[in-house]
Amino acid sequence: MHDENINHAFLDGILAGEVDVYYHFGVASDDPVLEQFRDVRAVILAGSGERISEFAQRWSALHDNAPIVGLPKEERFVTRYCAGVLFASHGMGMPSASIAVQELMRMVYFLKRGDHDAMAEVFWARVGTSGGVGLPGGTVVVTTEGLMADLRPFRLLKGGEGEYWFDGTFPADVARAIVDASADSGIPIELGRTIAGNEFFLEQFRLDGAICMETPESKMAWLEWINAEGVRNIEMEGAMLAGYLNHWGFPKFAMICTTLLNRLDGDQVTATKEELHTFSERSGDVLFAYLTATLG
């Protein structure tokens, strides 16, 4: 862990007995429910709350119907804890997901009492959907590096004084182990770079938004550029996720996204409900293969 990047000025007061309010999760560090989360070994993130409750049920079924504990507030994020895994939704896009990730990092710090070795044991993953780049719908991409639409890492404005920059690298050993755990599954799975757009339409160079700034030519030029640079898919959270987890030095995290379409062929998501279900099941299967291989 990178101790120097942890906000000790705030977080050490919490370990000393002050209360941290994880506002968007509707829980605080003095809530007895969090005692049940102390043994957390993995934090699994997905965009939708429905997906989170399905994951928790699946994990419970794999663990003798272990109890599922939820947090009552669900208007922002849906949270479930079951058998050592904390499942939480993060909404869409980096502004939403960054709130979830920051509050969950604070929660993990509290749950592990600031113990670096215990924190480093926690595995983090986002499981989601994406647009494929040169890959057909239904391919699972395990991300090697998260970047913004200009192929540079995640950064935020620092007032009028430049930017805060982050490292979007995903740990290569974890990505490889996730692919290996699903080697015999028959699921098409690829390793590759992933772009996180700040917008589904404009920063993903779509021509079907209400607002369109691109031409068919400029859109294809961008897609061909990122394709040639090893980008395999486009989603909306990964560059921030890797950036924040790297900032604290978490060694084990990943992103597993299924593609819904090949962006070289179009912009609209036209897959049927059944196809979309099959596609997203695949990323869940890949996650669960790795989780069962590593956590039991």
Footprint of ligand URA (CB under 6 A): 129-131, 200, 204, 234-236, 260
Residues 77-96 that bind ligand R2B (CB under 6 A): 92
Residue from 29, 79, 129, 139 touching ligand R2B (CB under 6 A): that is 129
The distance of closest approach from Cβ of residue 99 to ligand URA in the complex, given in angstroms and rounded to an integer, is 18
The DSSP element (H or E) to which 46 belongs, if any, is strand 42-46
With respect to ligand URA, which residue has the nearer C-beta, 128 or 153?
128
The distance of closest approach from Cβ of residue 55 to ligand URA in the complex, given in angstroms and rounded to an integer, is 18
With respect to ligand URA, which residue has the nearer C-beta, 60 or 198?
198
| Residue 2 token pair | 């990178």
Cβ burial, residue 130 (10 Å; 0-12/13-18/19+): buried
Alpha-carbon Rg for the chain, nearest whole angstrom, is: 19
Count of residues engaged in binding ligand R2B, rule: CB under 6 A: 9
Please choose which of ligand URA, ligand R2B, none residue 234 contacts, taking the beta carbon within 5 to 8 angstroms, the exact cut-off set by kind: ligand URA
Q: Which of 293, 282, 295 is nearest to 127 (CA)?
A: 282
> One-letter amino acid identity for 35?
E
Residues 185-204 that bind ligand R2B (CB under 6 A): 200
22-50 exposure pattern, b = at least 16 Cβ within 10 A, e = fewer: bebbbbebeeeebeebeebbbbbbbbbbe
With respect to ligand URA, which residue has the nearer C-beta, 5 or 270?
270
With respect to ligand URA, which residue has the nearer C-beta, 53 or 262?
262
Please choose which of ligand R2B, ligand URA, none residue 131 contacts, taking the beta carbon within 5 to 8 angstroms, the exact cut-off set by kind: ligand URA
Please choose which of ligand URA, ligand R2B, none residue 96 contacts, taking the beta carbon within 5 to 8 angstroms, the exact cut-off set by kind: none
The distance of closest approach from Cβ of residue 33 to ligand R2B in the complex, given in angstroms and rounded to an integer, is 27
Collapse the DSSP code of 21 into the 3-class scheme (helix H, G, I; strand E, B; otherwise coil) and give the result: strand
Neighbours of 9 (CB within 10 A): 7
The distance of closest approach from Cβ of residue 92 to ligand R2B in the complex, given in angstroms and rounded to an integer, is 4
**Distance separating alpha carbons of residues 14 and 16, to the nearest angstrom:** 5
What's the residue count for the chain? Answer: 296
The distance of closest approach from Cβ of residue 130 to ligand URA in the complex, given in angstroms and rounded to an integer, is 5
With respect to ligand R2B, which residue has the nearer C-beta, 27 or 260?
260
With respect to ligand URA, which residue has the nearer C-beta, 65 or 218?
218
The DSSP element (H or E) to which 103 belongs, if any, is helix 94-111
The DSSP element (H or E) to which 261 belongs, if any, is strand 253-262
Binding positions for ligand R2B, rule: CB under 6 A: 47, 92, 128-130, 200, 235-237
